[in-house]
Amino acid sequence: MASMDISSILQGGYQHPVSRSWQGRRALTKSMFMYPIFITDDPNASVLIPSLPGQHRWGVNKLVEFLGPLVKKGLSSVILFGVPLNCVKASPPYFAVTDIPLTSYGLQDGRGSPADDENGPVIQAIKVIRANFPNLYIACDVCLCEYTDHGHCGYLNEDGTIHTEPSVQRIAQVSVNYAKAGAHCVAPSDMMDGRIKAIKRGLIDAGFGNKVTLMSYSAKFASSLYGPFRDAAGSAPSFGDRKCYQLPPTAKGLARRAILRDVGEGADIIMVKPALPYLDIIADAAQLAPDHPLACYQVSGEFAMIHAGANAGVYELKTMAFESVESMVRAGATLILTYFTPDFLEWLS
């Protein structure tokens, strides 16, 4: 060792667990975790989702007993996804239906009516959670794919392409209705051009400009990691794919432009999704939007993959779960949406 240069020696700086704990710029805290929850329209449902280990579709009547223990452990935020299973689909053809009036709950149509129906799962869940857990922060995913008859994230033209203008107006309307029901945050995941501006305008005009956070899924890639989610939410498109609105996995430049655009259009939080295969995009977002909170979504397929690897003996679940989220924080994320949230509340206690 005597022959080694001083500049070669690093190990003296991290030989102890405590000195290792100082190597991160930021430590994980419980409030960094936002828990995605699937709410279905059978009020008494508690149905295990086979492709998402340990995760359920919940009915509104089950939310208090499910969330109570998590809130006690330090759960501070949730993001809600509605899963309409008791709806019938309007019959094809599937093209844009801009003139269907709001009906009583139960019809999946071209405008995604169940999304913001007073009797639909999301609005009901917001009210139940607000009433029972006054300190829990409620974000709502805003999209139409779970609620349209065709399963796409916006209105369609007759040729099956997205009709952007009415899609964006409708997405803004759903956002405002979630705000009216008591959501603290709306998070559009549709990737339609111009929706951040339209939602922000809608929130301001409805009196929520200073009350509701707008979290944009800014850089959302057309990923193969959404499969378990689409099972869980029944939101796979009935034809085609989402490549005309979600970003190509190669598209670093488009992701950067989308992040800057959404900052300019009034987003309060920027999100990158999925997370682990897109750490470079998280790092780019941290540099492009340094004055915004930065979220990333460890999506259903990432969660399932970590479980599958652990089951196959590739690694230990907890160690790998920590390694995955620590990489996201290292890349610059300040907030992580993950199905591991209940585990981290336990592990960080």
Closest separation in Å from C-beta 235 to ligand PBG: 6
Report the half-sphere exposure of 46 (CA within 13 A, side-chain side). Answer: 9
- Is 220 a catalytic site residue? yes
140 is in an annotated binding site: no
Which of 192, 325 has the CB closer to Zn ion?
192
Span of 13-21, 120-128, 140-148, 194-202 interacting with ligand PBG by CB under 6 A: 140-148
Q: Which does 226 bind (CB under 5 to 8 A by kind): ligand PBG, Zn ion, none?
A: ligand PBG
**Does 273 qualify as catalytic in the annotation?**
yes
User: At closest approach, how far in Å is the CB of 345 from Zn ion?
Assistant: 28
Q: Which is nearer to ligand PBG, 7 or 35 (CB)?
A: 35
Burial of 69 (0-12, 13-18, 19+ CB in 10 A): exposed
- The answer to whether 245 and 194 are in contact (CB under 8 A) is no
Nearest-CA neighbor of 259 among 294, 225, 212? 294
- 15 contacts 331 by C-beta, under 8 angstroms: no
Residue 87 DSSP label:
P
Nearer to Zn ion, 60 or 143 (CB): 143
The binder of ligand PBG chosen from 108, 300, 324, 341 (CB under 6 A): 300
The yes or no reply on residue 189 touching ligand PBG (CB under 6 A) is yes
Ordered alpha helix ranges (H), 50-120: 63-72
Alpha carbons 68 and 132: distance in angstroms, whole number: 9
Q: Using the rule CB under 6 A, is 306 a contact of ligand PBG?
A: no
Q: 3-class SS at 94?
A: coil
Where does this chain touch ligand PBG (CB under 6 A) — which range of 84-92, 171-179, 207-215, 228-236? 228-236
Residue bearing tokens 């089951």: 311
Closest by CA position to 56, among listed 258, 342, 332, 287: 342
If the CB atoms of residues 89 and 291 are measured against ligand PBG, the closer one turns out to be 89
Pairing type for strands 107-108 and 137-142 reads: unpaired
Using CB under 5 A, which of the segments 59-67, 142-150, 218-226, 271-279 binds Zn ion? 142-150
Q: 137-142 and 185-188: which strand pairing?
A: parallel
Distance CA 17, CA 174 (A): 48
For 17-25, the CB contacts below 8 A with 24+ separation are 24/326, 24/329, 24/330, 25/330
**Radius of gyration over every alpha carbon of the chain, rounded to an integer in angstroms:** 21
- The tokens describing 176, both together, are 């405002």
Contact string (CB under 6 A) for ligand PBG, positions 233-272, x = contact:
--x------x------------------------------
Determine, following the binding rule CB under 6 A, whether residue 141 of this chain makes contact with ligand PBG: yes
The binder of 141, among Zn ion, ligand PBG, none, by C-beta within 5 to 8 A per type, is: ligand PBG
From the list 202, 77, 91, the residue with the least C-alpha distance to 149 is 91
Q: Which of 127, 197, 211, 220 is catalytic?
A: 220
296 annotated as belonging to a binding site for a ligand? no
- Should residue 226 be labelled a site residue for ligand PBG when binding is judged by CB under 6 A? yes
Residue 90 engages Zn ion in binding (rule: CB under 5 A):
no
Q: Which of 126, 145, 179, 275 binds ligand PBG (CB under 6 A)?
A: 145
- State which of residues 75, 299, 321, 345 lies at the interface with ligand PBG (CB under 6 A): 299
Interaction partner, residue 338 (Zn ion, ligand PBG, none; CB < 5-8 Å by kind): none
Residue 103 DSSP SS3: coil
173, 126, 37, 146: which is closest to 84 by C-alpha?
146
Is position 242 annotated in a ligand binding site?
yes
61 or 164: whose CB is closer to ligand PBG?
A: 164
Q: Which residues bind Zn ion (CB under 5 A)?
A: 143, 145, 153
Report the interface residues with ligand PBG, using CB under 6 A. 141, 143, 145, 153, 189-190, 226, 229-230, 235, 242, 299-300
Which residues belong to the annotated binding site for Zn(2+)?
143, 145, 153
Catalytic residues: 220, 273
